[in-house]
Structure 1
């Protein structure tokens, strides 16, 4: 195997760090010195494909120069396939290139994995072009099965490489095989516990399981974020779980309104003599006791038991999102009505009835409406 020039090695390291603008001139200088350096052409193609404003046409030109020097250079063929995939209208050509990679390097797992990742798409494009743009479920299942076999071969050849499992997961997910997809997620997380997509999928599954309460869901997302703090989907999941927690405070406020109404005997029942108004001061103050107990047990103690990260996120989601503020505003309004009902020495029940319905109706009407509301 030909030794890689030090300048190409430096450029490869820069590409690995995502510093494409520094790697490209270095490779250009090397190729000016030796235009027959195949690895320099391969790295130049990779650099041009990795840039923020990728240049697939120029990458394709670089791979063609490399393959002109050695048509059986496996790395050049792989970059050539990637360039063809990025160039509009030439995606189907990648199958032939990758099958050549497999022929030349039958023990190289990446050729199988990359072909598995693209083959069902290529088949779907070809089938759709021949059938008015439609792909039947039966045909798609056939294409996915063909790709799945290639992905399994990649996993057999390199069971420690995550990409093969990622491709196999995508195929299983598109085929609707949730059992296999979950098993592949577990395998991915065994190899890479910080894998953001797999971690997010498994966390969402656990958080959405029947019977999982908002507190448990928030804890699951907080634990996952400790492992993968940059995952946007898990931040969104934690925000949603935090919102579910905040929605619970409205129920506490409505219970307080109900207790206040019961204390005033707002609604007559047959065979029951209603209390005389106004209520004594001691009774009005005593009516605050069950309300305080509700908030201490139902809100304060629950809040104190939450993970620190969940508590911080609760405060954050109130600042950042509209609906959490609406929820807290509704709870505050209901509590204001409850306090008015209990602490004002009412002499008749007409105004308290109006206050009761004003505290109950607006909040109760929106509890079901905003159940699935985006925070």
Structure 2
């Protein structure tokens, strides 16, 4: 028969490899043999929590606390199971007991700060009737949680969770400086931390003066280290969409240039030129259009990083509005070429082409602007 301590040790080895079902099978046999094995119950609670089974985790943690009411690991397992079961508003007493039992540990204090903050926000929302909470009100009701988070940071300067809680509280209170400092500290500990990387990239990409190209490159850089970061992919798509929208302005420049050459809307001060326009003048306008697209689109596209260029192609495949924008740009450019190229003998034809190229863009250029935000 396997010795009692050996069964728990084998289960712990299986837990390290995330083989929770096999570990639970061993631990189940162990507690059947010895219902007073504290370590077995604690490990069972941990396995059930990792499997997303909070009710079974609570039962195992309660058995452990029956054997050792002041055991730190048992208390924390019960707290984790309660949170997973939706008990953020009721877990505070368990966490305060864990802090009392192990005052030198940072994690339970950080978790207590997280809990106190959530409870304070819920209570304020209930008493104030809901609605958006101002930064001043958030600062006032978050003071105890902020103090607990700072104490957790003092106890565990390398504790990522303590930094995360402190950062969330500082951000909610509108303390941008402290929030940024905490993000920098998180990235020093874990350079690939998804939340901190995302926030840092978002701040850089939305800074004044940062254009769509630079924003897209920033998001692409962030995604290179975290390819599954959904928020960064969404932001990269928005920045890429802004790039595509820019091509419509180039097409409009070409269309207006072609219209100005023929003077589609003559007046007393600017009478219509003799038609057809000389071929040299028509070719010169086409050269101007080629220069606009060469420097404004092709050269810009070629200078984009590979990740952004790939996302342009991907977004054109995935995004209906991206394809609409590209089609509008192409259509307006085609209309511009048809206005400038043929030797028109009357204004009615090029004027119709001008409006045909202009109207689709004008009809949507303001409507779809919100998609870039």
When normalised by structure 2's length, the TM-score is 0.91
List aligned pairs for 1:282-361, cutoff 5 A: 282-361=280-359
List aligned pairs for 1:43-192, cutoff 5 A: 43-51=43-51, 54-87=52-85, 91-125=88-122, 131=127, 141-192=139-190
Maintained 8 Å contact 2:239/2:372:
no
Q: CA shift at 1:132, angstroms?
A: 8.3
Give distance in 1, aligned partners of 2:198 and 2:153: 22
Q: CA shift at 1:26, angstroms?
A: 2.9
Give distance in 2, aligned partners of 1:139 and 1:79: 33
Q: CA shift at 1:12, angstroms?
A: 3.8
Maintained 8 Å contact 2:107/2:159:
no
Give distance in 2, aligned partners of 1:264 and 1:87: 72
Q: CA shift at 1:95, angstroms?
A: 1.9
Q: CA shift at 1:102, angstroms?
A: 1.5
> Residue by residue, what CA displacement relative to the aligned partner does 1:164-218 show, whole Å, maximum 9, x if unpaired?
0001011112223222212211111111110001111111111111110011001
C-alpha change, 1:307 and 1:6, in structure 2 (3 Å) is farther
Maintained 8 Å contact 1:148/1:171:
yes
Cα RMSD (Å) of the superposition? 2.5
C-alpha change, 1:16 and 1:354, in structure 2 (3 Å) is farther
Which residue is equivalent to 2:241?
243
> Residue by residue, what CA displacement relative to the aligned partner does 1:45-85 show, whole Å, maximum 9, x if unpaired?
1221222xx33222111111111111111000111122233
Q: CA shift at 1:37, angstroms?
A: 2.1
| Structure 2 residue runs without a partner (length 5+) | none
Give distance in 2, aligned partners of 1:155 and 1:144: 16
Maintained 8 Å contact 1:4/1:39:
no
For residue 276 of structure 1, give the secondary structure of its aligned residue in structure 2.
coil
| 2:217 matches 1:203 | no
> Residue by residue, what CA displacement relative to the aligned partner does 1:343-370 show, whole Å, maximum 9, x if unpaired?
2221110221121112112213322221
Maintained 8 Å contact 1:195/1:228:
no
Q: CA shift at 1:311, angstroms?
A: 0.5
| Structure 1 residue runs without a partner (length 5+) | none
